[in-house]
Amino acid sequence: MSGTDRVLLEKKEGIARLIINRPEKLNALDGRTMQEIDAAIGATGADPAVGVHIVTGMGEKAFVAGADIAELAAQSPVEGAAYARRGQDVLVRLERLGKPSIAAVNGYALGGGLELAMACTLRLAADTAKLGQPEVALGIIPGYGGTQRLSRLVGAGRALELILAGEPIDAREAHRIGLVNRVVPAAELPAAAETLARTLLTRGPLALRYAMQAVHEGLQMTLAEGLAMEAALFGLTCATEDMREGTRAFVEKRKPSFKGR
């Protein structure tokens, strides 16, 4: 295990685990923690030995319970806008790494914590987890992408309800509305996240990259534009060694050995 004191990093067998390590603050995100998250994903994103990321929180109570309120309360309007942009930039880099990431939501995922989870490719939640965007109770709005990603995941109506009421929902309701992909017993969450990560590691890494790109960028396009982009990216996969290996392995009834080329 390596990393700094607020973000622990473990790299093993193709999986990078990023653990937010402020359990005494329910893993709240302050500026320093965001910087350390950014440094960690920068290092692992550039590491060819890493294929999948798992993001989780230290302890059993919280994934990330939100922003550091003491730090947030001291922001001027200009500082607040810059504070939000810095956090948004970190989460965009996580979202666009080109490698899948799994949020293992092991407890409270509120405010910035839910925004961090939504920037991950997939979300698994413990059955004890609570998720929400409670910022309006503090007289502010989500600032790390919550107003944008939440509506894209669950639709404008449900997003507005969660943001305007500011009340958290449990993991089952989050799964019902499409906010999380799967709910598992809390004790089984680490194993479930690792099993999913290992499944993703068996897939062609370039195919994963292009598939994620097609979905993310396609959401900003018309259907016709998205289909054109999909066809172009499909063509790119057809030029890869991974495509030849994958199709050959299928014909030969064996498991493929992808190289990311």
Decide if 69 contacts 138 (C-beta within 8 A): yes
Q: What are phi and psi of 42, to 5 degrees?
A: -65, -45
3-state DSSP helix/strand/coil % of the chain, to nearest 5: 50, 20, 30
Active site residue 135: yes
Distance of CA 28 to the CA centre of its chain: 16
| Selected catalytic residue, list 24, 36, 115, 167 | 115
Q: Using the CB atoms, write b or e for 168-182: b if 16+ within 10 Å.
A: bbbbebbbeeebbee
Across-strand partners of 103? 55, 123
d(CA 165, CA 162): 6
Distance of CA 153 to the CA centre of its chain: 12
| Selected catalytic residue, list 135, 167, 230, 252 | 135
Decide if 102 contacts 123 (C-beta within 8 A): yes
d(CA 77, CA 166): 22
Active site residue 115: yes
C-alpha torsion angle, residues 123, 40, 17, 84 (rounded to 10)? -30
List residues with catalytic annotation.
Answer: 115, 135
